[in-house]
Amino acid sequence: MGSCRQIAQQLVAPGKGVLAADESIATMSSRLEKAGVEATPENRRRYRELLATTPGLADSASGIIFADETLRQTFADGSPFARAVHSLGVLPGIKVDTGAKPCPGLPGETVTEGLDGLSARLAEYAEIGAAFAKWRAVHVITDALPSAGALRSNANALARYAAACQEAGIVPIVEPEVLMDGAHPIDRCAEVTAAAHAAVREELALLGVDLAGIVLKPNMVIEGRDHAGTTSPERVAEATVEVLRAWPDELAGVAFLSGGQPPERATANLEAMQHHRTPWPLTFSFGRALVDPALAAWHGDPALVGAGQAALAERVAANAAAVRRSHTEFVAGTPTAVGV
């Protein structure tokens, strides 16, 4: 448990966030194809190596989340991903859920699977070198959904996953995502996000999960993608922090997903969060908001690896700069940086 607390602290260390590069084979393949890159294991490997070897990444990223396929691959020089990333100063993580699947009994909703055999898989991932893990539950917003059954089922699975991780000495990133799909206003997202978090807190408590040894990965509280108008960063931050206040002080930290927001908007919202004094750090664990520009710049061309890395470095540095502010003027109350 002690080491989980330490690793969780490292993941949310001042001025750092987590890079989510753990797209499933299917999702990664379709993103590569859209960028004009053939979807082969080798191209997925090349892309992940490009991300992981971005110069200076360790200054702004505490960890990288990979999918199972990547963790079993090697850099071009033959060193296994987990070991290679670790030696670059970044903690390797692993997505251990097997995806959101239609939930029997709940039409239109999903439950995230992957609990069968999880303890054995975690032991193997620990052996390979994974320091932390991720499990993502997904909720849609409609007038009637999510149902209480979907909230409860996903929260229970997240808690069982988190307890298994801590037993294996791996830090669980607990991700109850409420999707941006739909035309709902921000208040509806706040209501659903609060309900999802309440269910997760209850289930984590029932299984004795140590909150100081987990990182919460929530969506920002934000209007639906099809809602008219764009909520200001200040309002997104206020609504998000208000929902998060229900979490106890001992929670190690909060690392947001980007959820399909344009990269610059995700950064502006993250920066606005830092104006709020909270007992836990508020940082990023973005996927698309970090890697989309890199994939677009590289698009499979070996001559453009540097351009892809520059695009990633720019986004990671912008988000790290945003969260660094919390340790300077906003929280510490002084322009002298703490731990950065």
- The least CB distance from residue 17 to ligand 13P, in Å, is 11
**What's the CA gap between 336 and 327, in Å, rounded?**
8
> Which region, judged by CB under 6 A, interacts with ligand 13P, from 51-59, 124-132, 189-197, 283-291?
283-291
Q: Which of residues 150-209 bind ligand 13P (CB under 6 A)?
A: 175
Both tokens of 305, joined, read: 């690896």
Contacting residue, 168, 237, 257, 320, with ligand 13P by CB under 6 A: 257
Give dist(CA 285, CA 150) in Å, integer. 24
Identify which range of 66-74, 111-119, 273-281, 285-293 contacts ligand 13P by CB under 6 A: 285-293
Applying CB under 6 A, among 47, 66, 132, 286 the residue interacting with ligand 13P is 286
Give yes or no for a contact between 144 and 151, defined as CB atoms under 8 angstroms apart: no
Closest CA to 217 of 193, 167, 262, 253: 253
Site for ligand 13P in 95-124 (CB under 6 A): none
Residue 217 a catalytic site member: yes
Give dist(CA 293, CA 17) in Å, integer: 17
- Paired with 20 in beta bridges are 65
Of 121, 213, 211, 215, nearest to 174 by C-alpha is 215
Do residues 212 and 252 touch, judged by C-beta distance below 8 A? yes
Tell me the number of residues near ligand 13P by CB under 6 A. 10
The region of 105-113, 204-212, 231-239, 284-292 touching ligand 13P under the rule CB under 6 A is: 284-292
Question: 283 — phi, psi (to 5°)?
Answer: -130, -165
Comparing CB distances to ligand 13P, the nearer of 294 and 328 is 294
Those residues with Cβ within 8 angstroms of residue 172's Cβ, 6 or more apart along the chain or in another chain: 132, 133, 134, 135, 161, 162, 165, 166, 209, 213, 214, 215
Does 20 help bind ligand 13P (rule: CB under 6 A)? Answer: yes
Among 287, 293, 313, 320, binds ligand 13P (CB under 6 A): 287
Q: How far apart are CA 307 and CA 50, in angstroms?
A: 10
Catalytic residue among 23, 109, 175, 223: 175
Q: How far is the CB of 175 from ligand 13P (least distance, A)?
A: 6
Active site residue 69: no
Contacting residue, 5, 45, 48, 288, with ligand 13P by CB under 6 A: 288
Q: Name which of 253, 220, 250, 251 is nearest 237 in CA terms.
A: 220
Pattern 310-339, ligand 13P, x by CB under 6 A = ------------------------------
From first CA to last CA, the distance across the chain in angstroms is 26
Q: Is 7 in the site for ligand 13P (CB under 6 A)?
A: no
Among 258, 278, 319, 326, binds ligand 13P (CB under 6 A): 258
CB of 256 to ligand 13P, least distance (A): 8
Residues annotated as catalytic (active site), given as ranges: 175, 217
Q: Which residues bind ligand 13P (CB under 6 A)?
A: 20, 136, 175, 257-259, 286-289
